[in-house]
Amino acid sequence: MGALNILVGVCLIYVAFLFAVAFGAERAALNGKGGWLRSPLIYTLSLSIYCTAWTFYGAVGYAARSGLEYLTIYIGPSLVVIGWWWLLRKLVRIGRSQRITSIADLISSRYGKSNMLAVGVTILAVVGTTPYIALQLQSVTVSFGVFSDAYGAELTEINHGNNALLVACGLALFTIVFGTRNLDANERHHGVVMAIAVEAIVKLFALLAVGAFVVWGVAGGVSDIFERIDASKIGQWDMRGDRWATLIFLSAAAFLCLPRMFQVMVVENEDEDHLRTASWAFPLYLMVMSLFVVPIAVVGLDMMPPGANPDFFVLTVPLATGNDGLAMLSFLGGFSSATSMVIVAALALSTMVSNHIVMPIWLSAQSGGATVSGDVRHVVLLSRRISIAAVVFLGYLYFRLSGGGAALASIGLISFAGVAQFLPVLIGGIFWRGATRTGAFVGLSVGFLIWAYTLLLPSFGTGTLIGTAVLTEGPFGLGWLRPQAFFGITGMDPLVHAIFWSMLLNTLSFFIASLVGFPSPLERLQGAQFVNVFEHSRTPQSWSGSLAQSEDLMVMAQRIIGAREAQRLFEREARRQGLSGLVPEPSPDFLAVLERELAGSVGAATAHAMIGQIVGGASVSVEDLMAVADETAQMMEYSSRLEAKSEEQARTARQLRQANEKLTQISEQKDAFLSQVSHELRTPMTSIRAFSEILRDSDRLSAKEKVRYSSIIHDEAIRLTRLLDDLLDLSVLENGQVSLNEQTGVLGDVLDHALSSALTGNQTVELRVMRDLLSEKVTLTTDLDRLSQVFINLIGNAQKYCDAPTPKLHISVQYGQGQLVIDFIDNGSGISKADQAVIFEKFARTGEQKVSGAGLGLAICREIMTRLGGSVDYLPGQGGAAFRVILPQSAALAAQ
């Protein structure tokens, strides 16, 4: 009894040690010191959960019964891992880029985020895994029983049950504590991974220790053990070829499809490069694990009594030789194998159950869907924890109900064959874009039905779940449907038969149903994403987010991934969009990112549904479909990018052309202006030159002629000076360099001054000016000199151009609507419509000009009025030429 107590004590210490390791790893990761946690070695060791108690105990039993056949179970995975470049690399990349949480999530995500498919895969995974968990519980209790038998302690059936329950509770607790610390399944479970890495070392060490003891302690070294092997009942190669090949295939398939393997290989993967190390390290691990299996089996067969259970030779051989310490180590190895498997399996299954069954049900039970109040995060965590407990308890229940009868190995193979049914859908999904949801559904259903019918049901024993008559004559007497001889093909090994037909029909129906059906846009989109994961690891935009409310999304995201995480994510995305605030635009890009983040917590299908509820319906746009369109996807993407680029270039070219046109126009204007200036300068100069030469060269000029010609020269010189003055004035005004000299005065006085200045010339016909002096008593504060200049110009124009026999100029002043309006209206023939458009241009001269003028006057007026904050315009329809000068209110103080 003492040794048993020690065993219990060691066990408890070991468990406490595992808790400590897990806790320490979590802490290290939290403090950012977890670099060593993310090493390829840890990754490789975590893959060793493939080696469960079935390996630790069962492999020896398997070898004792069937010789080298047990090797197939390790050769398959070795080939898969060595061939990582083919498949694992792609799986891992997809898992990371799509934030896949489980194999059910992968399949559902690939086939259009279908929750139905996810539910189906989850149920099948639970069905396939539960016996396996039971197997682990059984191995722990039985190995404990082996110890107690050895020490003469009587353990009843009840004790066995209690032990199993205790183990189950402990494992559930461990998984809950370290498996549901983070909600996001893509946040790696450092604690769990570290603990199973430690356990991987323990079980390898234990098995090696027992093996070494057997080879060098019991037998007399390597050559002796080989002789013993050849002399034993498994001394000859007696392997059926079909079983050899089928089992290698089966184990390879199961390695890919087992939920727990998917968990450690894809979900917990930190870095794709780890695969490179695992590609040789993991086969090495498997090789070493299976190295001593046959020696232990052979020695056990030699030593132990004929009826002894070969499944526990690993324990019984050390015990029988009195090596209690070694036996205890061996027990710990077995315990490690069992517990690590249960922990990871429970973790993987609970994620699936929670994400694909519990959460959808809970969400649909809430009337408002994702937008209802309440912290979804807690619900998800709770649902995960309950799922873990449920999965483990289910295994316990199976263990109690099955009574632990069947040989361990056969349960393992049945379970393998079950999960292997995922393989066609999985491989098809990541390599064949034509695979559809319907195909997946049909294929999986067919595969599982055949598996259950040909393998699972008969495994419970003839006459229990499946009648003897059915087995020998087929259901309803249909001989070709006999569970172990489809289509009357007898003589096949039952396992090979089951795997052959289930895989064949599974693949076939998957293929045909995929060919016949037509996938939904989302399926095609996801298909392209999965198959071409290396070409574009980015999710395409599947949401048109214009309707989405960022605030609603924020509320939802906070509930699922936690307030801090959500805010960080939103802030990051907002920054990426170039926004300063906390809330990003609900762009398709952002929604895709958010959906993937949420998928990490609740699975792709649920995340899709939740976003869909807020955004208002899943919408795959035409452009998205274009992106999917078969092989041309990338090309189109490329060409659309080119198009965008060329459009941009065209836009730039257009802008350049416009700029060029403008420059050309300005240049032409400048040329025209220079040409005008030249003309205006040369014309008076011509007269000056001509008459000055006449004066110089002719001596027979009369005095009157001399005076006349001199005065012409004089006038033209003045004209030239005026022109230059105007040009300079205009230049100053146009460049804005003019400084206004503000004064206060009365409008009437300004007009008086202007009139007296303008009308000094001894004109032939006198211009009559009519004014309303009363209305002119307006006090102004502006540049009165400039204003006067404008008035002089306008009055001068009237005087020059008014062609009426008795020219009159009417000056009227109105004050109102915040402005002062001064009109100059003459009684001439006015200015033609065409000319009205150009009179304010420089050098614009209208019609037949009797009087010389540079044509700059009105241009200067306009510039001045603009400077004064007002305007001057031609006022059509007044009978004669009419100009309206407007001054702003600020200039006019008050009407008096």
Q: Which helix (H) or strand (E) holds 885?
A: strand 882-888
Query: Among residues 73 and 769, whose Cβ is nearest to other proteins?
Result: 73
Calpha distance 131→152 (Å, rounded): 30
SS3 of residue 42 by DSSP: helix
| Interface of this chain with other proteins, residues 495 to 554, rule: CB under 8 A | 534
Member of 36, 85, 460, 638 binding other proteins (CB under 8 A)? 85
Member of 335, 543, 691, 824 binding other proteins (CB under 8 A)? 691
SS3 of residue 872 by DSSP: strand
> Per rule CB under 8 A, is residue 685 in the interface with other proteins?
yes
> Per rule CB under 8 A, is residue 667 in the interface with other proteins?
no
| Interface of this chain with other proteins, residues 757 to 786, rule: CB under 8 A | none
> Per rule CB under 8 A, is residue 80 in the interface with other proteins?
yes
Q: What are the φ/ψ torsions at residue 465 (nearest 5 degrees)?
A: -95, -20
Member of 12, 30, 287, 516 binding other proteins (CB under 8 A)? 287
Calpha distance 767→808 (Å, rounded): 6
- Give, in degrees to the nearest 5, the angle at Cα 491 between 487 and 496: 80
SS3 of residue 775 by DSSP: helix
Binding segment for other proteins among 44-52, 303-311, 501-509, 693-701 (CB under 8 A)?
A: 693-701
Provide DSSP, 714-753.
HHHHHHHHHHHHHHHHHHHHHTT-PPP--EEEEHHHHHHH
Q: How far is the CB of 704 from other proteins (least distance, A)?
A: 13
* DSSP, res 351: H
| Interface of this chain with other proteins, residues 244 to 273, rule: CB under 8 A | 244-245, 248, 273
Calpha distance 171→15 (Å, rounded): 10
> Per rule CB under 8 A, is residue 234 in the interface with other proteins?
yes
Place of tokens 């002062």: 820
Q: How far is the CB of 828 from other proteins (least distance, A)?
A: 17
Binding segment for other proteins among 45-53, 113-121, 286-294, 480-488 (CB under 8 A)?
A: 286-294
> Per rule CB under 8 A, is residue 693 in the interface with other proteins?
yes
For residue 287, give every residue at least 6 positions away whose Cβ sits within 8 Å of its Cβ, in sequence order, or none.
74, 78
Q: How far is the CB of 317 from other proteins (least distance, A)?
A: 19
Member of 46, 78, 330, 336 binding other proteins (CB under 8 A)? 78
Q: How far is the CB of 193 from other proteins (least distance, A)?
A: 21
Query: Among residues 273 and 647, whose Cβ is nearest to other proteins?
Result: 273
* DSSP, res 582: S
Q: How far is the CB of 234 from other proteins (least distance, A)?
A: 6
Binding segment for other proteins among 80-88, 300-308, 337-345, 887-895 (CB under 8 A)?
A: 80-88
Q: How far is the CB of 82 from other proteins (least distance, A)?
A: 5
Query: Among residues 432 and 673, whose Cβ is nearest to other proteins?
Result: 673
> Per rule CB under 8 A, is residue 697 in the interface with other proteins?
yes
Binding segment for other proteins among 124-132, 487-495, 583-591, 845-853 (CB under 8 A)?
A: 845-853
> Per rule CB under 8 A, is residue 688 in the interface with other proteins?
yes
Binding segment for other proteins among 157-165, 242-250, 584-592, 659-667 (CB under 8 A)?
A: 242-250
* DSSP, res 861: H
Member of 577, 640, 658, 698 binding other proteins (CB under 8 A)? 698
For residue 686, give every residue at least 6 positions away whose Cβ sits within 8 Å of its Cβ, in sequence order, or none.
none
> Per rule CB under 8 A, is residue 812 in the interface with other proteins?
no
Member of 492, 505, 694, 875 binding other proteins (CB under 8 A)? 694
> Per rule CB under 8 A, is residue 641 in the interface with other proteins?
no
Calpha distance 721→725 (Å, rounded): 6
| Interface of this chain with other proteins, residues 210 to 229, rule: CB under 8 A | 226-227, 229
Member of 401, 704, 848, 877 binding other proteins (CB under 8 A)? 848
> Per rule CB under 8 A, is residue 669 in the interface with other proteins?
no
Calpha distance 505→507 (Å, rounded): 5
- Edge-to-edge strands of the sheet including 778-782? 743-746, 778-782, 892-895
Member of 678, 721, 832, 889 binding other proteins (CB under 8 A)? 678
Member of 283, 310, 334, 545 binding other proteins (CB under 8 A)? 283
Amino acid at 342: V
* DSSP, res 895: E
Say if residues 491 and 502 touch (Cβ distance below 8 Å): no
Query: Among residues 472 and 711, whose Cβ is nearest to other proteins?
Result: 711
Alpha-carbon dihedral of residues 769, 770, 772, 777, nearest 10 degrees? 0
Is the Cα torsion angle 845, 846, 850, 851 positive or negative in sign?
Answer: negative
Nearest to 71 by CA among 251, 201, 238, 336: 251
Say if residues 770 and 745 touch (Cβ distance below 8 Å): no
Calpha distance 566→6 (Å, rounded): 50
| Interface of this chain with other proteins, residues 49 to 68, rule: CB under 8 A | 67-68
Query: Among residues 165 and 712, whose Cβ is nearest to other proteins?
Result: 712
> Per rule CB under 8 A, is residue 695 in the interface with other proteins?
no
Binding segment for other proteins among 259-267, 283-291, 404-412, 823-831 (CB under 8 A)?
A: 283-291
Crossing angle of helices 115-150 and 604-615, in 10° steps, is 150
Member of 651, 654, 662, 689 binding other proteins (CB under 8 A)? 689
Binding segment for other proteins among 125-133, 184-192, 233-241, 597-605 (CB under 8 A)?
A: 233-241
Amino acid at 152: G
For residue 821, give every residue at least 6 positions away whose Cβ sits within 8 Å of its Cβ, in sequence order, or none.
813, 814, 815, 884, 885, 886, 887
Say if residues 444 and 429 touch (Cβ distance below 8 Å): no
| Per-residue exposure over 489-506, b if at least 16 CB sit within 10 Å of its own CB, e if not | eeebeebbbbbbbbbebb
Q: How many residues bind other proteins (CB under 8 A)?
A: 64
Q: Which two tokens stand for residue 464?
A: 């229990």
Binding segment for other proteins among 41-49, 113-121, 123-131, 687-695 (CB under 8 A)?
A: 687-695
Q: How far is the CB of 465 from other proteins (least distance, A)?
A: 34
> Per rule CB under 8 A, is residue 699 in the interface with other proteins?
no
> Per rule CB under 8 A, is residue 3 in the interface with other proteins?
no
| Per-residue exposure over 175-192, b if at least 16 CB sit within 10 Å of its own CB, e if not | bbbbbbbbbbbbebbbbb
Q: How far is the CB of 482 from other proteins (least distance, A)?
A: 26
What would the 3-class secondary structure string for 493-505 be?
CHHHHHHHHHHHH
Binding segment for other proteins among 99-107, 396-404, 500-508, 690-698 (CB under 8 A)?
A: 690-698
Say if residues 415 and 129 touch (Cβ distance below 8 Å): yes
Crossing angle of helices 423-431 and 88-97, in 10° steps, is 80
> Per rule CB under 8 A, is residue 240 in the interface with other proteins?
yes
Q: Cβ–Cβ contacts within 10 Å for residue 163, how many?
A: 18
Query: Among residues 364 and 669, whose Cβ is nearest to other proteins?
Result: 669
Say if residues 356 and 115 touch (Cβ distance below 8 Å): yes
Query: Among residues 150 and 712, whose Cβ is nearest to other proteins?
Result: 712
> Per rule CB under 8 A, is residue 325 in the interface with other proteins?
no
Q: What are the φ/ψ torsions at residue 306 (nearest 5 degrees)?
A: -55, -35
Say if residues 603 and 101 touch (Cβ distance below 8 Å): yes
| Interface of this chain with other proteins, residues 723 to 762, rule: CB under 8 A | none
Binding segment for other proteins among 350-358, 384-392, 712-720, 774-782 (CB under 8 A)?
A: 712-720
> Per rule CB under 8 A, is residue 430 in the interface with other proteins?
no
Residues that bind other proteins (CB under 8 A): 67-68, 71, 75, 78-80, 82-83, 85-86, 226-227, 229-230, 232, 234-241, 244-245, 248, 273, 276-277, 279-281, 283-284, 287, 291, 294, 534, 675, 678-683, 685-691, 693-694, 697-698, 712, 715-716, 847-849, 852
